A and B are shown apart, each in its own frame.
Chain A
Amino acid sequence: MSSTRSQENRRQALAGWFFVSPALLGLIIFLVVPIVLALYVSFTNWDGLSNPLGGDVKWVGLHNYQQLLTHDGLTRTTFAGALRNNFWFVLFVVPAQTALALWLAVLVNNKFLKGRSFFRTAFYFPSITSSIAITLVFLFLFQGGGAVNGILSWFGIHGPNWLADSRGVIHVWLSGVGITKPPGWTQHTVMGQSLWDWFSGPSIAMMVIIFLVIWTTSGTFMLMFLAALQNVNEDLYEAGELDGAGPWQRFRYVTLPSLRPTLLLVLTLGLIGTWQVFDQIYLTGNNPATRTPAYMSFDQSFQNNHFGVGSAIAFLLFALIMVLTLLQRRILPEEID
């Protein structure tokens, strides 16, 4: 009796493995093998011109990681600059896109809004348009003599040459209040860059991309918020109203707590996505003022044939995203105990 049952179990297990094998095979070939291979490459000097597992490839240990983190040279300076750019990018984009998406969702969730489906489509539209196409349009708009500066000139404002301007906005602001020379204590260097440079803020060129990304991604996140909003129990609003809660209080004490899981999802996805920004950067060219680690990884690998360094950047970026995501989850737990 028991032996037939265990046989039956084994047969079922076997059938189970058989049915998932196509998906599993896909995962192994397209995910597990490339990831393991990329990890291996990050410890070699592979130049991309031969078989990465062949005889010409030399194991260099931690050399690539040292070039990025400890060796005082161009690679580390570039990497530090890329991290700096991306850090400011994330700091500006994530809160702004989350807030904008939430605001838009609340707006289009209003039952008394006329033409609701028009606005929903309009706000979602940037998200489904090709990022390459949208970025190209932005490149035209933000040229030195482009439409944006044309409009600014109506108000007597002489706009900067946006995408060619590498000044950090915090530096610009500081020079506006009279601080043009870096104070002495900011001369201390971290990873080949002075603290003054780390705290430059995003460059004006990066601000254009920040604006672009906030605008394009908020539509997607709006959709998530919208779905969540429609699941909020109407009774809660009624109960709140009976207790005398005004519109703001209902939003603060009913809507926001109900949206907490979605808010966390949006923040997490936003954090992960913004640390990997690539296509918009790729189109603005190899500009140190907008370069990010993801772009640098591509540039090192495919343009300079330093696949080892490129892969090492990818894994450092992975570690960074992982740590930040865990940290975020720790600070903002999904449920309140």
Chain B
Amino acid sequence: MKSVRGKRIIAAAGIAAVLTTAAACGSSGPSKSSGSSAGGTGGATSGVTLQVLIGSSGDAETNAVVAAGNAWAAKTGNKVVVTPAKDLTQQLTQSLAGGTPPDIFYVDASKFQGLVKGNALADVGEKITDSTDMYPNLQKAFTQNGQYYCVPKDFSTLALEVNTDLWTKAGLTDADYPKTWDQLETVAKKLTGNGVTGLVMSDTLDRIGAFMRQAGGSVVSADGKTVTADSPQNLQALDYLQKLAKEGALKFPKQVDAGWGGEALGKGKAAMTIEGNWIVGSMSKDYPNVHYKVVPLPAGPAGNATLSFTNCWGVAQKSSHQAAAVDFIDYLTTVDQQMSFAKSFGVMPSRQAAKAQFTQQFPDQAAFVTGADNAFGPVGFPGFDAVQKDFDSKIQGLADGSSDPKSMLSSLQKNATDALSNN
């Protein structure tokens, strides 16, 4: 009897072992050592098949990239296979670990440093025609150790979107668009009521960070070497937002049953929201009858500031078609092609040469373009993701006072310092 029980225990433990590891470890199979040289194939750039992995915002973006790929392929005699990723970070990581990454892939600014550290990115930024024409702060986002690894694909900035119907209903005019924090508070309070919240904004550092910058604060120093989260400027920003939240003039999307700011604005639950260029496409698709206007974010005590989000066209270090990849990216980042992307899925060209053309064609989006001059990129060192998620999870507590701005910032300081020292 004893031995039967022993066997059963072992069997139960075996089941446990199998299930646990199945839950935790995805693919970690042995990979063949790569024999491909980093230099690429040199001049021969025809008859090559390029694998492109993109983190697409939707069908419009996927189709636009596929069309661009086909056009380039027909011109050069190559082939392009575009794969839209369900979860770009995870799929890219898996293919890199397996030793056969796609030749070209989107690289988010916040993931860039990790990829450079992991030796995954080829240094091709300067091989693109006129690569220094890109906005300087975007170039900086993809420069590490003095090397300009990859060229920015496009970018978005944050601005204030206002529901104009609710605006006029509240007795406000064009002259009332908020220029300062005080004005923002006044109009937000005025717009709140009857099931409408003045300002609805996602509870993430990717929005609140703009207020920190407007107050003159930041999470890390300009050189990225010191954490500066625990500053009086940042505290001022959080105190201001907490005041708005306690007055009921600021709410977070979940509190009004929305997934993000655009949904709250479209459903008429928010009179104002803070989002980037991506809101334009989804508003015209999902809420075509809602009238709204895009204005620059109000200035804080330290002046104007906004946040920018960008991706670059990364080329895999292990790609054996680097020359073809560079040629394709060259094609993708011409002014014409960037303008056609702008038309298809509402992003802003990363080339300064396309600025005038963009403002002319999309006068409604002028506020996003003006933001480019005082935009700051996201914090990007490896390991910051978890720190930010922890911070983000406390933001909603500002409203009912369960989160205290001071302790939020001191734990952000502690956790970010810890993560930075692990690099």
Contact = CB atoms under 8 A, between A and B. Distances in A.
A51 interface: yes
**4 nearest A-B pairs in the assembled complex, by CB-CB distance:** A49-B118, A314-B24, A318-B20, A74-B415
Contact of B25 (A145, A304, A311): A311
Interface of B: 1, 5, 8-9, 12-13, 15-21, 23-26, 28-31, 33-34, 87, 89-90, 93-94, 96-97, 99, 114-115, 117-120, 254-257, 382-383, 385-387, 389-390, 393, 396, 414-415, 418-419
Contact of B89 (A164, A268, A288, A303): A303
A315 B30 CA distance: 20
A321 B28 contact: no
| Best-buried of B28, B29, B87, B256 by chain A (most CB within 10 Å) | B28
B21 A301 contact: no
B24 A313 contact: yes
Contacts of A92: none
Nearest to A54: B33
B21 A51 contact: no
Contact of B21 (A38, A73, A75): A38
Interface string A39-59: 001000001111111101000
A329 interface: yes
Contact of A73 (B13, B28, B97, B418): B418
A325 B21 CA distance: 16
A212 interface: no
Contacts of B1: 335
Contacts of A29: 29
Contact of B19 (A34, A75, A276, A333): A276
Q: At the interface, is chain A mostly helix, strand, loop or mixed?
A: helix
Contacts of B8: 329, 334
Contacts of B383: 304, 306
Nearest to A146: B257
A33 B97 contact: no
Nearest to B385: A304
Contacts of B120: 49-50
Contacts of A52: 28, 97
A91 interface: no
Given A52-B28, A310-B24, A145 B257 contact: yes
Contact of B93 (A33, A287, A302, A311): A302
Interface string A157-195: 000010110000000000000000000000000000000
A225 interface: no
Interface stretch (A214-222, A241-249, A252-260, A292-300): A292-300
Contacts of B117: 47
Contacts of A314: 20-21, 23-25
Contact of A74 (B21, B118, B419): B419
A49 to B, nearest CB: 3
24 contacts: A34-B21, A37-B30, A38-B21, A41-B28, A47-B117, A48-B118, A53-B30, A73-B418, A74-B415, A74-B419, A144-B256, A145-B257, A146-B257, A164-B254, A272-B19, A276-B20, A298-B24, A302-B90, A303-B90, A304-B383, A304-B386, A305-B382, A310-B24, A318-B20
Contacts, number: 161
Interface of A: 29, 31, 33-35, 37-38, 41, 47-54, 56, 73-75, 77-78, 143-146, 161, 163-164, 268-269, 272-273, 276, 278, 286-288, 294, 297-307, 310-311, 313-315, 317-318, 321-322, 325-326, 329, 333-335
B97 A164 contact: no
Contact of A143 (B115, B257, B382): B257
B219 to A, nearest CB: 14
B118 A47 contact: yes
B388 to A, nearest CB: 11
B30 A318 contact: no
Given A74-B386, A304-B385, A321-B20, 7 more contacts: A31-B18, A31-B21, A49-B114, A78-B390, A272-B12, A302-B89, A314-B20
Given A38-B21, A74-B419, A145-B257, A303 B118 contact: no
A117 B15 CA distance: 31
Nearest to B34: A51
Contacts of A286: 389, 393
Given A41-B28, A288-B393, A325-B12, A48 B20 contact: no
Contacts of A56: 118-119
Contacts of A38: 21, 24-25, 28
Nearest to A307: B28
B26 A302 contact: yes
Contact of A161 (B19, B87, B254, B415): B254
A268 B13 CA distance: 10
Nearest to A71: B418
B415 A73 contact: yes
Given A144-B255, A302-B93, A318 B5 contact: no
Contacts of B24: 38, 294, 297-298, 301, 310-311, 313-314, 317
Nearest to B33: A51
Nearest to B386: A304
A276 B23 contact: yes
A50 B12 contact: no
Contacts of B254: 144, 161, 163-164
Contacts of B26: 301-302
Contact of B15 (A34, A53, A272, A297): A272
A60 B37 CA distance: 29
A51 B97 contact: yes
